[in-house]
């Protein structure tokens, strides 16, 4: 197990969210690279990973290529895939003697005070023990009517819950653009000042057969976190290490000023 050193310094707290299409199917090998990056990040920060991918990971075991339309089959895929996904993470984390801790949340958990406090206490304790919390929506019991809908929102709510310094939203798209990537004339947006309405920006939807998010859900999530005082970086999974090293990748959503957050 990773040794926890208490030097009196308060470490930065970072929530990292990765999308289904980045760690499932042909991209399942990216789990290794993602774990490399998280292990390096943990040397200077408390890290919580919010990972999609349970349903996508479970689909091949049911002989399916796309997300099913009916709820029971979706729940079955999630039940199978969550186990396999956590196993893949732990096997990779073993290289660094890091122990993963599975945390499954539902939308109702975040809407009930006692449940929200319980989730916060569990996450704080896991971080204090040197574990890597891996959060996902509890898709096996979630319903179409009461669910987050995508893990971008879940990640933003977790970041707000634990008062994270930074939220990193990873996907297969490298940044936010003025129009969907590939559209003629679309340009990368490097920074979004807090409160910017992004007028004139056309947001696309997910083209993945297994994911549910898109640029719109990421912008909505970024605003939730930024309003709570958390800076947000949106970038591609394979660019994560470079972005953390200061390379100019992705889109940064500037956080609301700390003084304004405290007085709100």
Binding-site residues, in ranges, read 17, 52, 139, 151, 171-172
Q: Which residues are annotated as a binding site for substrate?
A: 52, 139, 151
Q: Which residues are annotated as a binding site for ATP?
A: 17, 171-172
**Residue with tokens 């970086």, as numbered in its chain:** 233
221 contacts 153 by C-beta, under 8 angstroms? yes
């Amino acid at each position: 197990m990773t040794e926890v050193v208490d030097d009196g310094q308060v470490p930065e707290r970072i929530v990292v969210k990765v999308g289904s299409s980045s760690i499932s199917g042909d991209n399942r090998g990216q789990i290794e690279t993602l774990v490399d990056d998280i292990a390096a990040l943990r040397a200077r920060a408390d890290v919580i990973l919010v990972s999609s991918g349970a349903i996508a990971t479970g689909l091949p075991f049911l002989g399916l290529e796309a997300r099913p339309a009916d709820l029971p089959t979706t729940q079955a895929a999630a039940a199978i895939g969550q186990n396999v996904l956590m196993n893949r993470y732990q096997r990779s984390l073993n290289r660094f003697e890091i122990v993963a801790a599975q945390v499954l949340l539902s939308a109702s958990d975040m809407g009930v005070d006692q449940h929200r406090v319980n989730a916060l206490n569990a996450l704080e304790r896991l971080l204090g023990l040197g574990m890597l919390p891996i959060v996902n929506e509890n898709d096996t019991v979630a319903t179409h009517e009461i669910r987050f809908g995508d893990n971008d929102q879940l990640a933003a709510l977790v970041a707000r819950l634990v008062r994270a310094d930074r939220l990193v939203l990873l996907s297969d798209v490298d940044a936010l653009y003025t129009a969907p990537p590939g559209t003629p004339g679309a340009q990368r947006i490097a920074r979004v000042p807090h409160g910017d309405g992004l007028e004139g920006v056309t947001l696309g939807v997910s083209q993945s057969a297994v994911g549910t998010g898109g640029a719109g859900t990421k912008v909505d999530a970024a605003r939730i976190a930024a309003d709570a005082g958390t800076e947000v970086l949106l970038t591609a999974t394979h660019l994560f290490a470079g972005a953390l090293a200061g390379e100019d990748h992705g889109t940064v959503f500037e956080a609301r000023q700390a003084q304004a957050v405290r007085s709100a």
